[in-house]
Structure 1
Amino acid sequence: MSLKVRISDDMKSAMKAKEAVRLATIRLLMAAIKQKEVDERVELDDAAITAVIDKMIKQRRDSISQFQAAQRQDLADKEQAEVDVLSGYMPQPLSQAEIEALIAQAVADTGAAGMQDMGKVMGALRPQLAGRADMAQVSALIKAKLAA
């Protein structure tokens, strides 16, 4: 079952169960997917939908930190509830050891010798790690590996 169909089915079940927060979040997600499809005039596949979800999660995490800094825990809790719903559609995250193994493999495959080869390593890893790892964390691990 494609991710888009699963999201649509979940929206219907949220309506039936009268889960307001979940329904609102799924509607936001469907709107973001539709907007991307209209903008690019293309039908999104699961990888592209995962990228949309990942972007939405990042936006919400940024909002959470802003709201907490402004002492608005009520709004931070609302954003966290949305993150929880959206996270359910992301692929299973990789463990730290799995990420490090993939980085070591990518460094060996690309023949990276220093920091100037960081782009090659990131390019090789991005398709494998998209939606399954925090790319900022991956970038820091690659820098540490290449600096050593």
Structure 2
Amino acid sequence: MPITTHFKNKNNNSCILQISTEAGKVLLTGDIEKTAEDYLIRTYGDELASDVLIVPHHGSKTSSSYRFLLEVAPRYAIASLGFDNRFHFPHAKTLARMKSLNIPFYRTDHCGMTQITLPVQGEIKSPICYSGLKKV
């Protein structure tokens, strides 16, 4: 998704990628925060709708705004998180917003590697968690 503005905060200049297949869409948001989310909403609106959201900025309190989550309307959200991360991501407010919108939330610090399959036919299924080499 092209962004034609330059943000002061480097996080908001993250590469944003929406993968679209017959099965559905996955939105990868990098480290964007609410400022960039608002820009995307104004610029792309309904085009943001995606089946899977890779959670912005690891679920920090400055991202995953309620309005952004409403626009994206993901069936699943996945947050890339380091175990026992020093920032204590995801933030409780982000988790509360996900819960209030009934968005299943997968986190790599609990789940390990998380796999989403975009099938040739049919719908995207629930993410699969792997802990070490073992499917959970």
Shared fold (TM-score, shorter chain, > 0.5): no
The structure number with the bigger radius of gyration is: 1
More helix per residue: 1
More strand per residue: 2
What TM-score comes out, normalization by structure 2 length? 0.30
